[in-house]
Amino acid sequence: MRLLGRWLLLAVIGAVLLQLFFVGRIALTVLVDPQSTTFERSEAWRLASQGELRWSQQWRDYGQISDQLKRAVIASEDDGFTNHEGVDWEAMERAWERNTKAEQAAAERAAKELPARPIKIRGGSTITQQLAKNLLLSGERTLLRKGQELVLTFALERLLSKRRILELYLNHVEWGTGVFGAEAAARHYFRKSAAQLSAWEAARLAVMLPRPRYFEQRPRSAYLSQRARVIVGRMRAAELP
């Protein structure tokens, strides 16, 4: 029993130290612009292992990124960004219900021996949650990782301003294979800086975010154009931090 107690104590101490490390990393970003994220480093390793050298990411301060892109991303990814405290519980519940129905439909097709269809997993994550995941966590989908994501999300909201959270997000979010951040995306797709993006260009980039590598290979996708038109119409209502 004593040995078990010691192991449990060590596990608790390790968990506490890990949280302190994460909080320290987040606190550091108040003043220091991170050069890379955990997700970016894992993606760099993946590309390198495949012999690919594609990589583009240039930091741009908040004022050097088009307000059109900020509005488009908020309208597309998290329209309650300036008002919530890190998590949109209703959006998460809706995503859970949609994913459950999709899994049930897939199970029914399998039972009837019908051809399988890809299950589209929908997320209800806010911009802050996405930043927490990309900044410090792996891409695995487990309840433990999701729980850690929530802890980091609340830490980000407590330690950083909404403006800083959006600045970090826009500088490190993936926009294609080896393409990270608004500046790299603007130059990759439109041959211009992130400060010069039009409303239409910003909307197209925002729509790409859930599946950037997929849409990078399908720039003429009808869905991409249709959804971009919808986002352009919603951008005026998007509130900037």
User: What's the one-letter identity of residue 177?
Assistant: T
Distances (CA, A) of 148 to 89, 100, 145: 16, 22, 5
Residue 106: per-residue pLDDT: 47
The secondary structure of 149-160, three-state, reads HHHHHHHHHHHC
Residue at token pair 């950037």: 212
Q: What is the largest CA-CA distance in the chain?
A: 66
∠ CA 155-45-55, nearest 5°, is 90
Q: Give per-residue pLDDT as tens, 97-131.
A: 564 454 455 445 555 555 555 445 455 689 999 99
The tokens describing 239, both together, are 């509130």
pLDDT at residue 2 tops 90: no
pLDDT of the residue at 65? 98
99 vs 139 pLDDT, higher one? 139
As a whole number of Å, the end-to-end CA separation of the chain is: 53
In which residue are the tokens 């393409």 written? 179
Instruction: Encode pLDDT of 141-178 as tens digits.
Output: 677 778 888 889 999 999 999 999 999 999 999 999 99
Percent of the chain with pLDDT over 70: 82
Tell me what the mean pLDDT of segment 21-45 comes to. Answer: 89
| Statement: residue 88 has pLDDT above 90 | no
List of residues 6+ apart from 9 with CB closer than 8 A: none
Query: Under DSSP, is residue 190 helix (H, G, I), strand (E, B) or coil?
Result: helix
Contacts of 143 (CB under 8 A, 6+ apart): none
Query: In this predicted structure, which of 1-15, 95-109, 191-205 has the lowest mean pLDDT?
Result: 95-109
pLDDT score at 113: 55
Mean pLDDT of the region 26-55: 88
- The encoded tokens of residue 206 equal 């925002």
